[in-house]
Amino acid sequence: MTIRPIWFATVLTFSLSLQATPTAITQVNGYHITPMQGLERFDTLVFDEGKVLATGDADLLLRYPQANVVNAKGKTLLPGLIDAHGHLLGLGENLLQVDLRGIGSARDSVAKVSQYFAQNAKLDWVIGRGWNQVLWPDKQFPTAAMLDEFIPDTPVWLERIDGHAAWVNSKALALAGINKDTLDPPGGQIIRDSLGQPTGLLIDNAMSLVAERLPKANHNKMQSALTAASAHLLSLGITSIHDAGIDKATYDFYKAQAQHGKLAIRIYAMLSASDTELATMLKQGRYHDAQDKLWVQSVKAYADGALGSRGAAMLAPYSDDKHNNGLLLTPEDRLPELFDLVLNAGFQLNVHAIGDRGNRLVLDNFASAYTRVGGRNLRNRIEHAQVVSLEDIPRFKTLNIIASMQPVHATSDMNMAEDRIGKERLQGAYAWQTFLKQGTVLAAGSDFPVELANPFHGLHAAVTRQDHQGRPPQGWHAEEALSIEQALRAFTLDGAFAAHQEDILGNLQPGKWADFILIDRDIFQAPATELWQTKVLQTWVAGEMRYKSAP
């Protein structure tokens, strides 16, 4: 790692008003990454009207004698962190619902749901998320009968941690009309018992059979979710998120919030390819507001499902399910039309692909769409790029595809990934360093609320490839680990690049938005194993403090 001190501030190319009163934060242990110089350090940051004027040493105070000076007393300062793949309102809803994350058995999960229902007995639906059967002793999918014993008359909807399966009770099945004769929808599966009866477990597209009965979102619910999620993310040092798939109602809601100056964090919103009004939204063209709080110029599509629920599309059957190759959530014959529609509109296309077959199909469709409608320079992305055939990894570079990956997925999946796909296919799985070495841009995120949103968990996973207990001791497939500089770049500058925003975000060069955080430790000097423990002290967006930790 090469650290280059900045002894002289960059000269601003535009003149300052004599009446301007900038702010100077000094005595900081500042780091950011620039395209040409890499990692740079500074001890003073000067900004005004929401944008950076200069970074450098304390001599900057002589250049800006009128500045309001804030002494940071040696705290570490970083650019605001960018989560390149999350679900904003989903996070907000999760914060307001029953959370089953990390619970070690189906019995304990049911107990928590039952307790939640007892405290909220007037609810029309009991809704929650976060269960993960891989953590349970028997590793078996749960059933409706487990819920029926405690909640027989109110429908229950509980999404798996990855959002690719739902656990429901019998009341919910009855409301949706799901019975022995109900056919599996394309790209989905109704799990059944030995007699063919639905068990209460729905995989991928089968979830929609019940999901369409859930209470519809309204302005008040969206506002509550947005407020809760924004406050939570700011407390974690996240100033910008890439919202991976929004419907028309959310699109309209976000635009209204931006136009009235009510967005607390920056949102790079991806339109949902499955929304029936996608074409209408595309015709409205790209959008961003004057404060760069909301950008709309991309589309999120799905190729396949997830690894944990065996829905990721694989070229060969699962190692632990010899008759299962996973699921395609978008039918293969519909992909060319979708790619042409999005790319021809000049929108970036970001496609969820987790299995090696899912990734290959997406790469094939980008290659063929480029010959029909172009779009190679739109910075198209594959979201997750989790298990990729070794022969397909170089195609990310040749096709200009950004790998939008979530480091915490590797440390969450390491307890089951080899069981699912075997050791050989793991060679192209979670292959962050391999992508970087060939020159592929890597944008990092968390996929919240699938995972916790804390970006320092992501930095820790990227650098150590270990869980929070330091397992495995040498890291899981440690050859693919990142340096702390590479990891920080993936959560800042390259996250901005993946959103066409590297000229306004991603570091603290002059003219960019003054989005930055103060944290409780120097992440370049602290033990890597402790990175996940980092606490955010302050979060600033456009030069305004939007979060401060309690003393």
Q: Torsion angle of alpha carbons 314, 319, 322, 326, nearest 10°? A: -30
Strands 23-34 and 76-79: parallel
Q: Which residues contact 153 (CB under 8 A, 6 or more apart)?
A: 171
Q: Which amino acid appears at position 467 of this protein?
A: D
Contact in structure between 44 and 8 (CB atoms under 8 Å): no
Q: Torsion angle of alpha carbons 226, 230, 231, 237, nearest 10°? A: 170
Token couple for 65:
């004698």
CB neighbourhood size of 138 (10 A): 8
Q: Report residues of the chain scoring pLDDT below 70.
A: 1-20
pLDDT of residue 20: 65
Q: Which residues contact 475 (CB under 8 A, 6 or more apart)?
A: 464, 465, 466, 481
In eight-state DSSP terms, residue 154 is S
pLDDT of residue 222: 93
pLDDT of residue 8: 34
Residue 131 has phi, psi (to 5 degrees) of: -65, 150
Per-residue HEC secondary structure of 477-489 comes to CHHHCCCHHHHHH
Residue 153 DSSP SS3: coil
Cα gap 69→61, rounded to integer Å: 8
pLDDT of residue 489: 98
